[in-house]
Structure 1
Amino acid sequence: MTSSNRPLTIEIDRQQPLPIYLQICERFRTAIASGHLRPGDRVPALRGLATQLNTARGTVELAYTILVDEGYLQMRGAAGTFVSPSLPASVMRSSRGQGGPVKQGRPGNEGMDTSNTPGVSRGGQSTARQSAIAVAMSGEPRPLQPGMPALDAFPSKVWHRLVSHRGRSSERAMFAYPDPAGYRPLREHIATYLGLSRGVTCLPEQVFVTGGYRATLELVLRSLARPNDRMWFEDPGYLLARGFLAETGVQLVPVPVDGDGIDVERGTQLAPQARFALVTPSHQSPLGYTLSLARRIALLDWAENASSWIIEDDYDSEFRYTGRPLPALKSLDRRDRVIYCGTFSKVMFPGLRLAYVVVPERAVERVGRVAHSMNAGSPTLWQAAVADFMRQGHFARHLKRMRGIYGERRMLIVHALEQAFGERLSVDLPPGGIQFAVRFAEGTDGPVDDVAVATRAREAGLAVLPLSIWYANARTRRTPRGLVMGFANIADAGEAGRLARTLRACLDG
């Protein structure tokens, strides 16, 4: 390891729409990938780099914070900031050969043996899972419902004005059949937004607007999957995705999750030639972990070597309470193996039923044909109103405001839970998202029956979900027991206290 200062020239382009702090991040990633910066090297001090670039120190500090969060840099106090010594070797190789040919066509797993793979789940849902899904998809929002944004804080007057304006317009597109790929101006705004906020560079032609996350998965699988394809699925993993995928014929391979996210090495052992990996890298569902840089690189390397697809579900990454939102896994994708999925359900409201997917360029034609054959297409009126919402700046202002509100509301319920439960419950608070998981301490009679607790909570009017059913093997003694809950709609400390005490009573039966 070396701590020497390597000569480093960073240039920024003030004519680019990409913010300066993101340009700085990209320059550092490129320097590390090319070997110009090596693990252990000291990087310029904040003040020095800010002077060199003639920009504010806070801009450089924000870039360094993101790079530290991603695992590229380490801050060592007065000693300075260094390239992380634990970077995987593949990070330094990632830029080599990027200009070379890219394999065309659908990835193949020809000759794949689909029999007797350990850990493969062939579907089937317990009554507990079915009840939980019914709660999660309930039309009437209820307290502590996971994934439900703050409906009381949405700018409904602005939204109604935009919808009314579009409804009164004479645009024939508002009354015709919708474009199966999505309303063109909305696709353009989504592409711009992803490039600026999530580090995802894409063309509007790569963006397809869908009627929700399930519709996104259906479009992707109809376009790219074959019968009996295997898919890595996080264990624990998103309940609604598990339920839908079990119906499609895809063979789910539960891959364990730890504090660094999905265990890529274990996934490679279980199903090295799986066609897909479905992951939630920015805010793992339901545990909230962030996929580490080493695991991100390993996952991308696996996808390239196996000619497989990674489906990135970036469902609520806009809401991060320690630093800026992290760039998406897709931003590191140099081989075009990542299919990026986003949704307006968490950032606006779920009744909108609008989501989107960014597909690799090689798959655009195929996905487009399938979208037309499915006669897919969400109402143009809603899409046009969302496009206006983004174009006029309401979307960015709404996200900024909600980060502040959610940051306060999540701490209200955390403090209330600590007071109500004491040592009988632990909260591992993630750095972002609008929901989190809590775990019950094991009692004298063994593990807590979290399904029973959630059932009693549902009868009391709450919409928490049992944590154990998010696991492939839900009822083993070693399966963690707890609850998954949302916090976005908690109005004040008094309500948080009442909800926590109600939950405590449900634990006692």
Structure 2
Amino acid sequence: MSKVQNPLTIEIDRHEASPIYLQIGERFKAAIAAGHLKPGDRVPALRGLATQLNTARGTVEMAYNMLVDEGYLQMRGAAGTFVSSSLPGAVTTPAARKTRERANAPRLKRPEPAADIGNDVKPLRPGLPALDAFPRKVWSRLVSARAKSGDLATLTYPEPSGYRPLRERIATYLGLSRGVECVPEQVFVTNGYRASLELILRSLAKPEDRAWFEEPGYLLARAFLADANMRLVPVPVDHEGLDVDAGIAHCHDARFAFVTPSHQSPLGVTLSLARRMKLLDWASRAGSWIVEDDYDSEFRYVGRPLPALKSLDRDDRVIYCGTFSKVLFPGLRLSYVVAPERAAARFGQLTKNMNAGSPHLYQAAVADFIAQGHFARHLKRMRALYAERRMLLANAIRKAFGDRVSIDLPTGGMHLVAIFHAGRDGPIDDMAMAARAREAGLAVIALSAWYLNARAKHALRGIVAGFANVADADEAAGLSRTLRRAYDAQSMTASSDAKSA
């Protein structure tokens, strides 16, 4: 058994914003990468390192547990703690060589920024729930009652992990409706999906971790992850959802997989059971994390809502993300994360360090909305309403465009995809067409914008349009005619450019 030849020196910076346990973890990872620590080397005992650093034993223990979870260290009981003997070569490569390899390695193209469609309520905006159908009187009554309650908790700083009764309601709801078994201590309330991603990355990720990302995939999450220095590996999506075999072939040791299994964003397909099991098996064998974005799974129009991918997770590798933005209204800025049991303590610590916490008043009102049965009744009404409105918009677009588009009605969700057929001058520039539609007052998004490279040949051309706020057939017809005018104007421009060329 090998031992560390030279005493390991670890220094921490108490003025640094990063928590001490994270600093300890990064120092160990750097020492392993530089070759100062090798597979099989014993690392300092908890008490000894805590004394050396003049910090609490629990802080060092938290760092060691993190390194064990990530596969860097192995605890062998009374024998001590050792650098894992099964570390991949990429981790143990000396830092200088790693730097050269990274500099010479081809870099994935950063995603093209999608056009800004704003934060207003323009027609056909994807992901915007039916604001006209939200029970505002009930909601106002609940908020008012909480505001008048005299509860001093509404005036203090909110609990960083979330209002406890709301976390309990979420855990119960997920168990009953999504098959996700969890306890309130695993549920963390956040200020939106991007805040959920930030919590996940700060808890489990390292700079430049590689991650599978659906191709095409949720464009706002793609941009956030790229800005967070994640190295995204595009994995194609077909009629069964994410192609797991392709992901393994491209990058078998990715640290994360970001997926939308219930209703793929944007294509709307459902990840098949066979693919789900294969994805879970990959994560278990690779020691990787699956981030499941279950953003609008409540709205399914064929059969009952499918169980979440997390419900099949037996190895605690899936991180479940949900939101109230789609089922209630986005102005709430309330989402939630179900952390893996093994990482719940770390998530809890990070919420404190991030000074997180959503306003108590809204969290309490949502908890009341669920407890009093309004939530279940609202979802039932919206399923029926959205099923009707998706048909209105789909039929209107088909009538306006004829054989120029294909629309496969989604089995769930709040948007549909209209795919353009190539004309005599080739595929239409859907980015330019969508820009024309936005100038006309519509909030559609080009389908190609959801690809890592919108100009790639494999990128489908079309539009992603929300149907939740289409009130009736007349409105659907008028919106579709506006889309068709934008399409025709772009087609004329393309034809003129082709002739002049």
TM-score (norm 1): 0.77
1:473 positional shift:
2.2
| Count of aligned pairs | 402
Closer/same/farther in 2, CA of residues 271 and 393 from structure 1, 3 Å limit: same
Q: Match of 2:288? A: 308
Counterpart residue type for residue 111 of structure 1: P
* Contact 2:212/2:232 (8 A) holds in 1: yes
1:429 positional shift:
1.3
Given candidates 385, 389, 408, the residue that maps to 1:405 is 385
Counterpart residue type for residue 306 of structure 2: L
* Contact 1:406/1:488 (8 A) holds in 2: yes
Q: Match of 1:160? A: 140
Q: Distance in 2 between matches of 1:404 and 1:121?
A: 46
* Contact 2:114/2:219 (8 A) holds in 1: no
Structure 2 residue 162 is matched with structure 1 residue 182: yes
1:421 positional shift:
0.4
Q: Distance in 2 between matches of 1:227 and 1:454?
A: 35
Counterpart residue type for residue 146 of structure 2: R
Misfit runs of 4+, over 2 Å = 103-126
Given candidates 342, 356, 363, the residue that maps to 2:322 is 342
Structure 2 residue 127 is matched with structure 1 residue 147: yes
* Contact 1:322/1:431 (8 A) holds in 2: yes
1:375 positional shift:
0.4
Q: Match of 1:391? A: 371
Q: Match of 1:415? A: 395
Unaligned runs of 5+ in 2: 1-65, 73-86, 91-97, 490-501
Q: Match of 1:479? A: 459
Summarize deviations over 1:430-454 as a string: whole Å, max 9, x none: 1000012110010000011101110
1:108 positional shift:
3.2
Q: Match of 1:440? A: 420
Q: Distance in 2 between matches of 1:390 and 1:223?
A: 29
Summarize deviations over 1:154-210 as a string: whole Å, max 9, x none: 000000000001011111111110111000000000000000000001000000000
Which secondary structure does the structure 1 equivalent of 2:69 belong to?
coil
Q: Match of 1:111? A: 88
Q: Match of 2:245? A: 265
Q: Match of 1:224? A: 204
Counterpart residue type for residue 368 of structure 1: G
Q: Match of 1:325? A: 305
* Contact 1:435/1:484 (8 A) holds in 2: yes
Unaligned runs of 5+ in 1: 1-102
1:296 positional shift:
0.2
Which secondary structure does the structure 1 equivalent of 2:459 belong to?
coil
Counterpart residue type for residue 309 of structure 1: W
Q: Match of 1:124? A: 110
* Contact 1:467/1:480 (8 A) holds in 2: yes
1:104 positional shift:
9.3
1:363 positional shift:
0.3
* Contact 2:114/2:449 (8 A) holds in 1: no
Closer/same/farther in 2, CA of residues 376 and 288 from structure 1, 3 Å limit: same
Which structure has the bigger radius of gyration? 2
Closer/same/farther in 2, CA of residues 161 and 112 from structure 1, 3 Å limit: farther
Q: Distance in 1 between matches of 2:109 and 2:469?
A: 33
Structure 2 residue 210 is matched with structure 1 residue 241: no
Which secondary structure does the structure 2 equivalent of 1:461 belong to?
coil
Structure 2 residue 478 is matched with structure 1 residue 501: no
Summarize deviations over 1:446-503 as a string: whole Å, max 9, x none: 0111011100000000000000111122112332100011000000000000000110
* Contact 2:129/2:326 (8 A) holds in 1: yes
Closer/same/farther in 2, CA of residues 396 and 125 from structure 1, 3 Å limit: same
Structure 2 residue 458 is matched with structure 1 residue 458: no
Closer/same/farther in 2, CA of residues 390 and 233 from structure 1, 3 Å limit: same
Structure 2 residue 173 is matched with structure 1 residue 210: no
Which secondary structure does the structure 1 equivalent of 2:358 belong to?
coil
Which secondary structure does the structure 2 equivalent of 1:164 belong to?
helix
1:107 positional shift:
2.8
Q: Distance in 2 between matches of 1:497 and 1:474?
A: 29
Percent identical: 64
Closer/same/farther in 2, CA of residues 278 and 112 from structure 1, 3 Å limit: farther
Q: Match of 2:42? A: none
Q: Distance in 2 between matches of 1:117 and 1:321?
A: 49
Counterpart residue type for residue 108 of structure 1: G
1:304 positional shift:
0.2
Structure 2 residue 391 is matched with structure 1 residue 426: no
* Contact 1:120/1:254 (8 A) holds in 2: no
Closer/same/farther in 2, CA of residues 130 and 477 from structure 1, 3 Å limit: closer
Summarize deviations over 1:38-86 as a string: whole Å, max 9, x none: xxxxxxxxxxxxxxxxxxxxxxxxxxxxxxxxxxxxxxxxxxxxxxxxx
Q: Distance in 2 between matches of 1:325 and 1:357?
A: 20
1:275 positional shift:
0.7
